[in-house]
Structure 1
Amino acid sequence: MEGSNTVTAAAGDATDLHRPFLEDRTVGKPPPPPDVELETVLTDTTVPYVRRVYVGAWIEMRLLFHLAVPAILVYVVNQGMSLSTRIFAGHVSGLDLAAASLGNSAFSLVYGLMLGMGSAVETLCGQAYGAQRYEMLGIYLQRSTVVLALVGLPMTLLYTFSYPILILLGEPKTVSSKSASYIAGLIPQIFAYAVNFPAQKFLQAQSVVAPSAWISGAALLLQLLLTWTAVYKLGLGLMGIASVLTLSWWVIVAAQSLYILLSHRFRDTWNGLNWRAFQGLWSFFKLSAGSAVMICLEMWYSQILVLLAGLLKNPALSLDSLSICMSISAVSFMVSVGFNAAASVRTSNELGAGNPKSAAFSTCVVTIVSLVTSIIEALAVMAARDSVSYVFTADAAVAESVSELCPYLAITIVLNGIQPVLSGVAVGCGWQAFVAYVNVGCYYFVGIPLGCVLGFAFKFDAKGIWTGMIGGTLMQTIILLYVTFRTDWDKEIDKARRRLDMWEEKKDLIVN
């Protein structure tokens, strides 16, 4: 009872600490995240350690799921938009499924590039919000949008010349020809990414995630309706599927932009268009590039598996079965990416607010929750291994191949329950460059070469390729676990303050 009273008192103290922020809300000031309560509980040595952990876990879980659940919905829906194109294509023909899968896999590099560069906004906006430097968030948002749009211009060349690129990679001509037509319809989507991801990170940094979930859900429903009409009523085939996907992304961009412009929630973090967004672009590009390399190397890793499958002795069957497994893995991965976003927001907000114990505690909680979730997903995949492929295709040979690959898929899902969360912590701390080096070493110097040796030299085919790549992911996960849980969080707070001061100084120089 005595410990309980102390915790109650601590909660009361936390409420008192929040009172100025609640008063700020009446005059339009956005309150900082509710981190004071957690830090108070974790540092109250008059309460037994176990009790502090128990109460702190409940506080953190409330904060975590408030962020993670809508973020998971956003990313799952976004992935579902791509997944639905494969489902519709698979019910048109096996060749269309292979073409859409190859197109989505080979050119998902632009998605990864834009998402990765947008994570620079996640680091800066999250830490600035925690430090109550609200006016900088709108500048970061605009500057990132300009940088991503400029980067998107050369990316259009990849889409335009997709056919010769796929042929150069050794993909079959019939599949490459179909894929090139599909990819051409996705060119306007590049610039939708350039606007969407900075806006998404801008909202997440302020713990505003539910509106994005509603917008994405509505866009998915619209896409399903329009794609069904395009395929079954208008007979537009693969080009119709691609055009509807592009349109759906622009619907998300328009709705999300209007929400930011019109909502009073952002009166202090969004002060309208500002010419300063065009200043310091090169410095911002370099920061974004580190983020992009980290995210891209992670996302491209699994897509390389699909590209290598096109070089096996039975490419159509390998592509179909692996693309189905990768589609399932991608949906599961988006759940982890939702936890990744929550981890990034919680870590950056806590570091910006100067709360080391809360940052460390949040990292532990989100990692455990994501791991448990991924284990449940892996068990569900194994239970449905013989029937899950029929969602995509009616081909019995493909279903048998998918069933054989499901154990590898389950292991990948479990590893993906840990690795993306640790990457989210890295984004919150600003470690993107370090993680990029780890990814290069583990993925591209260990995982892929080992997979090629097992798949091609030892004739284990897709299973061998996948085994090698699992080895690379396992190595990367172990390294990130070691580094994360040996972090000096007080030093990270000092780094966060210096980083914000640096960008604040750049802003002042521009003004002067």
Structure 2
Amino acid sequence: MALREDDGLHQPMIRSNEPVPEPVSSALEDTLSDTSLSYVRRLRRATSIELATLFRLAAPAIIVYLLNNVTSMSTQIFCGHLGNLELAAASLGNNGVQLFAYGVMLGMGSAVETLCGQAYGAHKYDMLGVYLQRSTLLLMVTGIPLMLIYIFSKPILLLLGQSTSIASASALFLYGLIPQIFAYAANFPIQKFLQAQSIVNPSAYIAAAMLVAHILLTWIALYVFDWGLLGASLILSFSWWVIVVAQFVYILVSDRCKLTWTGFSVLAFSGLWDFVKLSAASAVMLCLETWYFQILVLVAGLLENPEVALDSLSICMTILGWLYMVSVGFNAAASVRVSNELGAGHPKSAAYAVVMVTLSSFIIAVICAVVVLALRHVISYIFTDGTTVAEAVSELTPLLAISIVLNGVQPVLSGKCFF
């Protein structure tokens, strides 16, 4: 495959002896444009085609995001069973500070999803590797100022009015998460690079295997070696780096990536400013969705009984975060579908993909909200044994259910604004 080395999405130059890949889901565009069929039959057939394609992409993507999220949250759960202070510290560290870095990195990494998806749909395969390297470089640089927030987290939390005991314990937990920042910087571009090619199963297998290993390593760190909060967070950082390395090894050895990964390129250092603008815009969109989580957690730490307030609110936020990953998975699948279809010149298919993914995510969110309401009196015991916290969580559950439904739609739609 001979491709022009530019950043445009023009049709590539293809050698005559090489087959031209068929556009993604061309059957959907043909069905939507088939005037010989009645409107109802067109919708029925198009729905069948799109749902099959969408869930083939969305299911593994959701599993990846859920498993990655559960890997982080399992550390919080382990810390919660050490005591209320440890749970409050891990919750404040995870949901109050670490979530900020997660949102920035995931948001900026979403630029790769847009660009790689369109390049793949337009058959400009070599540009996917360039975008991957360019994004990783940019995110690594972004990780430096984020690291400073972690280093000075204790005075920052004290300045925001947190108690000395919680601020000190949270800062200790965050020190061990500093390597995780740079794991995010490498992980999200790699994930988006693979997703743009509809390669999602390998990431799911890696995430599942690492979750099992992470739980075992965390148990050993806390209950065998008694490493405490710092040890728990260091194990979490280590687990994220294992995920990154495993995914990159897959890219290097897999035949499915031989056209899209051709090695390191100096093109990664070109066009950085335009890439910065696109990445920053996508990061702001996602950060606006996650900042209210952090504000609520920080405000909870200012209440009369901060440990119980932080524990109960953080449990609700953790549950919401798990279900939020379902919407993010649909967002990723929809972004792949839309960008691939636009790159292949299929506007009707792109528009129809947006409708179907939004409806699918909304229906699943409603079902999850009903389940959470039904389990409101017992769901907190996953995280802690305290009955006081359980009662507080039960009172917050109706608001949690409403948030679940709203988050079932908003993250999915926001991903389409990049096109």
TM-score bracket relative to the smaller structure: over 0.9
Partner of 1:499: none
More helix by percentage: 1
Instruction: State the aligned residue count.
Output: 403
Deviation at 1:290, TM superposition (A): 0.8
Match of 2:73 among 56, 77, 83: 83
Secondary structure, in 3 states, of the residue corresponding to 2:81? helix
Partner of 2:333: 342
Partner of 2:229: 238
Work out the CA distance in 2 between the residues paired with 1:395 and 1:32: 57
1:34 matched to 2:16:
no
Deviation at 1:267, TM superposition (A): 1.5
Partner of 2:42: 52
**Could you list the per-position Cα deviations for residues 454-495 of structure 1 after superposition, in whole angstroms to 9, with x for gaps in the alignment?**
xxxxxxxxxxxxxxxxxxxxxxxxxxxxxxxxxxxxxxxxxx
Partner of 1:162: 153
Which amino acid is the alignment partner of residue 207 of structure 1?
Answer: S
Alpha carbons of 1:351 and 1:92: their partners in 2 closer, same or farther (altered >3 Å)?
same
Say which is worse superposed, 311-320 or 56-65, in terms of deviation. Answer: 311-320
Secondary structure, in 3 states, of the residue corresponding to 2:178? coil
Structure 2 residues not aligned, in runs of 5+? 1-13
1:423 matched to 2:418:
no
Contact conserved, 1:121 with 1:141, CA < 8 A, in 2?
A: yes
Deviation at 1:274, TM superposition (A): 0.7
1:218 matched to 2:209:
yes
Work out the CA distance in 2 between the residues paired with 1:330 and 1:186: 19
Work out the CA distance in 2 between the residues paired with 1:302 and 1:33: 40
CA RMSD of aligned residues (A): 1.4
Deviation at 1:303, TM superposition (A): 2.1
1:101 matched to 2:91:
yes
Deviation at 1:28, TM superposition (A): 8.2
Partner of 1:476: none
Deviation at 1:404, TM superposition (A): 0.6
State the structure with bigger RCO (CA 8 A, min sep 6), 1 or 2: 2
Deviation at 1:35, TM superposition (A): 1.8
Deviation at 1:275, TM superposition (A): 1.4
Match of 1:92 among 66, 71, 82: 82
Work out the CA distance in 1 between the residues paired with 2:157 and 2:307: 15
Partner of 1:263: 254
Match of 2:385 among 394, 415, 422: 394
Match of 2:292 among 270, 282, 301: 301
Contact conserved, 1:340 with 1:420, CA < 8 A, in 2?
A: yes
Partner of 1:19: none
Which amino acid is the alignment partner of residue 96 of structure 2?
Answer: A
Q: Map 1:101-500 to 2 at 5 A.
A: 101-107=91-97, 108-427=99-418, 429=419
Which amino acid is the alignment partner of residue 379 of structure 2?
Answer: V
Which amino acid is the alignment partner of residue 59 of structure 1?
Answer: I
Deviation at 1:82, TM superposition (A): 1.6
Deviation at 1:348, TM superposition (A): 0.9
Contact conserved, 1:28 with 1:268, CA < 8 A, in 2?
A: no
Please give the TM-score of this superposition, normalised by the length of structure 1.
Answer: 0.77
1:64 matched to 2:58:
no
Alpha carbons of 1:28 and 1:79: their partners in 2 closer, same or farther (altered >3 Å)?
farther
Alpha carbons of 1:30 and 1:198: their partners in 2 closer, same or farther (altered >3 Å)?
farther
**Could you list the per-position Cα deviations for residues 391-443 of structure 1 after superposition, in whole angstroms to 9, with x for gaps in the alignment?**
1111111100100100000000011111111012223x1xxxxxxxxxxxxxx
Work out the CA distance in 2 between the residues paired with 1:166 and 1:78: 26
Contact conserved, 2:221 with 2:228, CA < 8 A, in 1?
A: yes
Alpha carbons of 1:278 and 1:192: their partners in 2 closer, same or farther (altered >3 Å)?
same
Alpha carbons of 1:55 and 1:102: their partners in 2 closer, same or farther (altered >3 Å)?
same
The structure with the largest alpha-carbon Rg is 1
Which amino acid is the alignment partner of residue 35 of structure 2?
Answer: T
Structure 1 residues not aligned, in runs of 5+? 1-23, 430-512
Secondary structure, in 3 states, of the residue corresponding to 1:92? coil
Contact conserved, 2:24 with 2:344, CA < 8 A, in 1?
A: no
Contact conserved, 1:30 with 1:268, CA < 8 A, in 2?
A: no
Partner of 2:10: none
Work out the CA distance in 2 between the residues paired with 1:62 and 1:303: 37
Secondary structure, in 3 states, of the residue corresponding to 2:328? helix
Deviation at 1:358, TM superposition (A): 0.6
Alpha carbons of 1:400 and 1:61: their partners in 2 closer, same or farther (altered >3 Å)?
same
**Could you list the per-position Cα deviations for residues 142-166 of structure 1 after superposition, in whole angstroms to 9, with x for gaps in the alignment?**
1111111111112211111110011
Alpha carbons of 1:29 and 1:292: their partners in 2 closer, same or farther (altered >3 Å)?
farther
